[in-house]
Amino acid sequence: MESRKALNDTNFNLLLKFNAIESELNHLKVEFISVKQELADTKLELAKYKIKKNSQNSSIAPSKDENRIKKNQSLREQSTKKIGGQVGHKGSTLEMISIPTHIEVLQVGTCSNCGLDIRNVASSNTEKRQVVDIAPIQPTIVIEYQSISKICSCGKCNKAVFPLGVNAPIQYGPKLESLIAYLSVRQYMPFKRIKEYLSTTTELNLSQGTIQNILSRMASKALPFYNLIKENISQSPYVGGDESSMRVNGSKNWFWTIQNDNYTLIHCSDNRGFATLEEIYPQGLPNTVIGHDAYALWFKFKGKDHQLCLAHLQRDLNYFKELHPNESWITDLKTLFHQAIDWKKNINNGIHSFKEQLKKLLENPPNKQLSALFTFYKRILKYKDHLLTFLDYDFVPADNNGSERAIRVAKVKTKISGQFKSIDNAQIFAILRSIIDSLIKQNKNILENLFLVALAIPE
């Protein structure tokens, strides 16, 4: 009996201990849940400061993710040359001119040793030093034209004719108009800064509306020159073309360019459709090889032949090479393009076999499971006849970088000055910038030639 009682007491004690442990465990569970929730809240709070949004946790596009392989990469290879001027480079320095604008003769009156008056002593040597500076900026000049009238003995009243272009009782002159066009279109200055510059340097207080009117008038005067650029481009054996979106008063519009080595034509349109190309050149360019990217409308545009921009394709291949480093098809196509471009640059003689190599390469496509790469391959296959056109013509480049540079100026303008307020303002920029870029390509003085435009009579 006593042993059974002892056993019951033991079981009872164990039960008490078990209940106590279970109660403590439940309490710990509650504390754990509380701590876990607190930790989660802390992590969420820290996330606001440390974790950046990406395509996995927000509506941000995958292309904006950090550490993501970038598609548009530079093709420039790292140079082995040292920084600075290279061996054999012909340097330039500031040199003295033979006939200075002004000469100041510095005399000595007394000897620095004994104090004797030496003003009448003949000079033994003359040392020259020149300072190159700009002339003082003068306040605005106002030219008044007075037309004299005289009555002949026959009774006829004869009145002197005002100079061509002097049409109003008071107006701004061509030098000021050309300067405003230069500051706005070449130097990308906003109207407010142009107003400040003119007020500071010339004491002219023009309103922003007046600046807009002057630019509009300059564009009207520039139309004959703009149309001449269009005509010269139409007769070119090669042109490059490109287009880029642009915000105009909050809406998407498009800047188009068609250019060659001597001329740049820029056109603003409210659409990216074929109608714009028809508007610029209704008959196309049947005698011209056209360089461009793979945008289908350019192939629809009538030309003698087409050349796809290999710079675009090479950047795509660099991207795919980082994604799939073991895919030999990428390396083979990169090598082929590089060798073909190098062959053209060095003007090697002999028959090249690059087109045959390309044909064999396209007959052995990359792995279909690499979907993005295979899509790229199908695009290459579709336009295979326009990949190496540049090998058949001396005047056709392998890339379309000139067109990208021509169209980029509109982007720079909007980044500095803000979006265009109207399609008319955008076209004013397109007309004047076409003339300026053409002058740059021909190494002509921009401001001097804008002055000649300002002297013209508006259409």
Q: Does residue 176 have a pLDDT over 70?
A: yes
Q: Does residue 2 have a pLDDT over 60?
A: no
DSSP structural state of residue 117: B
On whether the CB atoms of residues 316 and 69 are closer than 8 A, the answer is no
| Tens digits of residue pLDDT in 439-456 | 999 999 999 999 999 998
User: Which of 134-138, 172-176, 395-399 shows the lowest per-residue confidence on average (mean pLDDT)?
Assistant: 134-138
- In one-letter notation, the amino acid at residue 22 is E
Q: What is the pLDDT of residue 164?
A: 85
Name the domain count of the chain. 1
- In one-letter notation, the amino acid at residue 154 is C
Any domain includes 314:
yes
Residues 6+ apart with CB under 8 A from 433: 185, 264, 266, 409, 410, 413
Any domain includes 157:
no
State the pTM of this model. Answer: 0.77
**Closest by alpha carbon to 186, among 456, 428, 432?**
432
Any domain includes 353:
yes
Strand 264-269 and strand 251-259: pairing? antiparallel
Any domain includes 322:
yes
Any domain includes 321:
yes
Mean pLDDT of 347-376: 85
Q: Give the integer Cα–Cα distance in Å for 259 and 404.
A: 10
Question: H-helix or E-strand containing 209?
Answer: helix 208-234
Residues 6+ apart with CB under 8 A from 127: none
| Tens digits of residue pLDDT in 216-255 | 999 999 999 999 999 999 999 999 999 999 999 889 999 9
> Domain of 352?
310-399
Any domain includes 371:
yes
Mean pLDDT, the chain, integer: 87
Any domain includes 206:
no
**Closest by alpha carbon to 445, among 456, 435, 430, 455?**
435
Q: What is the pLDDT of residue 57?
A: 41
Any domain includes 116:
no
| Tens digits of residue pLDDT in 260-290 | 999 999 999 999 999 999 999 999 999 999 9
Dihedral sign for Cα 360, 364, 370, 376, please: positive
Cα 106–chain centre separation? 51
Provide the pLDDT confidence category of residue 213 given band limits of 50, 70 and 90. very high
Mean pLDDT of 187-211: 93
CA distances from 254 to 4, 24, 297, 374, 404 (A): 99, 72, 14, 30, 14
Q: Does residue 123 have a pLDDT over 80?
A: yes
Mean pLDDT of 107-126: 88
| Tens digits of residue pLDDT in 297-354 | 999 999 999 999 999 999 999 989 888 889 999 999 999 999 999 888 886 655 578 9
